[in-house]
Amino acid sequence: MKEKVEAVLEKIRPALEADGGNVELVEVTPQGVVKVRLKGSCGCCPMSQMTLKMGIERMLKEAIPEVKEVVAV
């Protein structure tokens, strides 16, 4: 599943990079929790939680039904 998650993140990255940010995959747990690290501008942006839940998590869940949650570490 880690490869599938990374493939979806590659599609999201250009939008994050356009705003000076990025996302790094840290871990995918057996329970379907995806742990990511927001980097650059995304790491300190007040909208980062919205980006995480409404953007990254939504896209991952649509593409990979096994994903239950996305959390920032």
Q: Tens digit of pLDDT for each residue in 23-44? A: 999 999 999 999 999 999 888 8
Least-confidence region, from 10-19, 31-40, 41-50, 51-60: 41-50
Q: What pLDDT was estimated at residue 3?
A: 96
Number of domains in the chain: 1
Q: What is the pLDDT of residue 43?
A: 81
Pick from 71, 69, 73, 63: nearest CA to 4? 63
pTM of the predicted protein model: 0.91
**Domain, as residue range, for 27:** 2-72
Question: In the predicted model, is pLDDT for residue 47 greater than 90?
Answer: no
pLDDT at 45 over 90: no
d(CA 13, CA 68) in angstroms, rounded, equals 21
Domain CATH code at residue 47: 3.30.300.130
